[in-house]
Structure 1
Amino acid sequence: MTYMDNVRDLELLTMLARYGSFTDVALEAGISQPAVSQAIRRLEKRLGTRLVQRQRFGAGDGTQLTQSGRTVVDHVGQALDLINSLPEALAARTGIRRRTIGLPPIISSLLSSGQGRQGQCEPDKNTTVETIGSQKLLSQIEAHRVDYGAVASVDESLSVDGVETTKLASFPFGMVCTQSMVDRLGTAGMTSLHPEDLSMLPGDVPFATLNRDFVHAQAAQRLIHLSEPVSHLIEVSDVETLKLVTTSGLVCSLITSAGVHPGDGLRFIPFAGDDMPRFNIFLFNDTKREAFHEDVEEVHAFSDYATSRLSSVA
């Protein structure tokens, strides 16, 4: 009988099945790419079979699971879900109800900005707030690891099995830069942009945006690839870093207007057109969780507060 003594290695294999790239798994897990490779090799040695078909040198970072690899992923998925549900199971045994609220950084900033307070969003000792990018948060929602909150999508509707979703607000994406960069680009008189306008900008001006943990990466694929390969983008891992490199005057950034505030000292030019992606904010509420009926009033209070705050800034 083969015993598995490293759950983390199994998690990394399931992530590799999802992303198909050692580099992407390393970014997601916050570890080095060699560490991911070593984890897969440990599993292959433990199980005595090849799990991943690696591309030859020069073929890129893409990978494909072997039949054995797919079999392992199919079997461990349910086991990993049970392990991840241990905190909830222990809380239920002790009579303590724990909640996980999802609020991506930009949405959290919107809800806590202004004179009002984010009352319903302030966590107590039994509440965890996931402040991660919407794209990453969506994977947590789909796995039913988050109770309720708000998430963004570039799609006009959001459908997740076992999760109620309601659209609350919508904001445009656009190009943001300093006034000196505006003067350099010659866009001072422009009130909106179309993707084809990017091809007319100086070719030596780099663009930056948020990485694939955020919906900005999807927006970039729909917008900038029309005139410039997405691989030319500088991707950063958080909103504050994106603003920092933008205010340096060295880059232009792709960001939603929801992430730009008057005090940032930046000029925002929205992308215009009916087919342009937008930063759509949805309330979500997992109906499969045990405490769903107990949290009805709490979720309604959160929804009312979020609707009020977002309507004041939309």
Structure 2
Amino acid sequence: MLRENITDLMSFVVVARVGSFTHAAAQIGVSQSALSHAIRGLESRLGVRLLTRTTRSVAPTSEGERVLSRIAPLLSQIEEELQGVIDMRDQLAGSFRITTSDHAADTLIWPRLAPLLQQYPDLKVELVNDYGLTDIVAEKFDAGVRLGEHLSDGMIAVRIGPDMRFLPVASPEYLDRHGIPDHPQALTEYSCINLRLPTHGGVYAWEFEKYGRELKVRVDGQLTFNNIYPVIRAALDGYGLAYVPEDLVEEPIKQGRLRAVLEDWCPPSAGYFLYYPHRRQDSRAFRVLVDALQYDPGQ
């Protein structure tokens, strides 16, 4: 009975304010006869007449005025509260944790994330730099970023970057002193700058491919780092060969500060993907975040 009364009371408020069943019916979106029937039903349940009807106008009775003065503000308050819930939804609030590499964070995530955070100030994102293959469910991350070849099974994966390739590079001075390797296996005779991956429990093996033949070469040298940027700096300073993403060394190569070797052994492979459990797509804020990070080949 409460639901029926609320619906009919809302109709009564509209009729009393506009003073016409015809105009009120058009405003509410029902037929005039249905509206008249609803008001009669409300009056019958309350046991009082709420409206005085004439051939020219409709006006509230004294009882109707009392209902209008007390009930209409309450109905307006309910509408305002419901609108507040909708507005809060539209503000797009939420907190998300993403594990990623510094390379992906700097070149792909941050350029797209920065304008999104300005647009939605109640959106919070924590980026955790991690070269390990973190279990995002066990470690309570909302999403992770990995190269396509390292994606976890059973996850939704969204491409956030183009295909990419890694290149061995060194300073011209180092190559002038030690010569240029003519085969990936020859790298074992050179001083190389290693990258340690925590999940693998050791240094990263450099990967090569040519004519369908794949090679993994474990190299050695004076220096090992756990993220990519010091590796590049060490190569620029002449400490040996480094195996790094091509996009990070394009400028030094153009400037002649680094030289790439064995390029014919370095085909491109799948780039970075954002991956996350199926349950995460239930959040509108998270879907907006994913859409912002998704790779658009046309851009």
TM-score (norm 2): 0.51
Match of 1:158 among 133, 136, 151: 151
Deviation at 1:128, TM superposition (A): 0.9
3-state SS of 1:170 partner: coil
Deviation at 1:248, TM superposition (A): 1.4
AA of the residue aligned to 1:165: A
Rounded to whole Å, the distance in 2 between the matches of 1:295 and 1:228 is 40
Deviation at 1:247, TM superposition (A): 1.6
Match of 1:101 among 80, 88, 98: 98
AA of the residue aligned to 1:246: A
Match of 2:206 among 220, 234, 244: 220
Q: Which runs of 5+ in 1 are unaligned?
A: 1-95
Report if the CA contact (8 A) 2:205-2:217 is conserved: no
The answer to whether structure 1 residue 272 and structure 2 residue 264 are counterparts is: yes
Aligned to 1:207: 192
Greater CA radius of gyration, 1 or 2?
Answer: 2
Rounded to whole Å, the distance in 2 between the matches of 1:132 and 1:109 is 13
Aligned pairs for 1:124-163 (under 5 A) are 126-133=124-131, 136=132, 138-141=133-136, 143=138, 145-148=140-143, 150-153=145-148, 155=149, 158-161=151-154, 163=155
3-state SS of 2:206 partner: helix
Report if the CA contact (8 A) 1:110-1:258 is conserved: no
AA of the residue aligned to 2:115: G
Q: 279-288 vs 265-274, which deviates more? A: 265-274
Aligned to 1:32: none
Q: Which runs of 5+ in 2 are unaligned?
A: 1-92
Rounded to whole Å, the distance in 1 between the matches of 2:268 and 2:204 is 9
Rounded to whole Å, the distance in 1 between the matches of 2:186 and 2:268 is 16
- Residue 294 to residue 226, structure 1, CA distance change in 2 (3 Å): closer
Rounded to whole Å, the distance in 1 between the matches of 2:193 and 2:236 is 12
- CA displacement 1:90-148 (0-9 Å, x = unmatched): xxxxxx7321133311112222799x884237897732111222xx2x31435362223
Aligned pairs for 1:270-309 (under 5 A) are 271-273=263-265, 278=269, 280-289=271-280, 292-303=283-294, 307-308=295-296
Aligned pairs for 1:11-50 (under 5 A) are none
- Residue 113 to residue 183, structure 1, CA distance change in 2 (3 Å): farther
Q: How many pairs align? A: 196
AA of the residue aligned to 1:120: L
Q: 171-180 vs 101-110, which deviates more? A: 101-110
Aligned to 2:81: none
TM-score (norm 1): 0.49
Deviation at 1:222, TM superposition (A): 6.8
Rounded to whole Å, the distance in 2 between the matches of 1:284 and 1:260 is 27
Aligned to 1:195: 184
Rounded to whole Å, the distance in 2 between the matches of 1:169 and 1:104 is 16
Root mean square deviation of aligned Cα: 4.1
Report if the CA contact (8 A) 1:194-1:272 is conserved: no
Aligned to 1:52: none
How much identity, in percent, do the aligned residues show? 17
